[in-house]
Amino acid sequence: MSQIAGTPEPPYYAVIFTSERTEGDNHYAEMADQMMKLASLQPGFLGVESAREGLGITVSYWDSLEAIRKWKQNEQHLAVQSKGKSDWYLTYKTRICKVERDYEFEKSE
């Protein structure tokens, strides 16, 4: 099964979260899993893709800017954002983009 998020026909929105971590896990993996589950329950959530090899990149997909705003203001998410600044991240950057076109390839067996 592919780890690439299934998304609808554009337009939709992508939130690109790029980060550099502090040393050690400090319960980061557990909290990241909880946040992925919580995000997936939010109205307007479409999917997520994430990779970390030194630099971490997580891209979440949303149906509207309003859905993104509500996720950013989610009470549990706000608490974890604060902990991220104090415990888990050396630096991060968030970018919000409108996806106007996408296309894909899948090798047939």
Q: Is 1's pLDDT higher than 70?
A: no
Using DSSP bridges, classify how beta strands 12-21 and 89-99 pair: parallel, antiparallel or unpaired. antiparallel
Please count the structural domains in the chain.
1
Note the pLDDT tens digit of each residue in 88-109: 999 999 999 999 999 999 998 8
Residue 5 lies in a domain: no
Which secondary-structure segment (H or E) carries 39?
A: helix 28-40
Give the residue among 17, 21, 98 at the shortest CA–CA distance from 59: 17
How far is the C-alpha of 102 from the C-alpha of 46, rounded, in Å? 14
Residue 7 located in a structural domain:
no
Q: Which two tokens stand for residue 77?
A: 């998410």
Residue 67 inside a domain? The answer is yes
CB 23 within 8 Å of CB 65: no
* Domain enclosing residue 52, as ranges: 12-99
Compute the average pLDDT of residues 50-55.
Answer: 90
For 21-44, how does the pLDDT look when each residue is reduced to its tens digit (9 = 90+)? Answer: 999 888 888 999 999 999 999 999
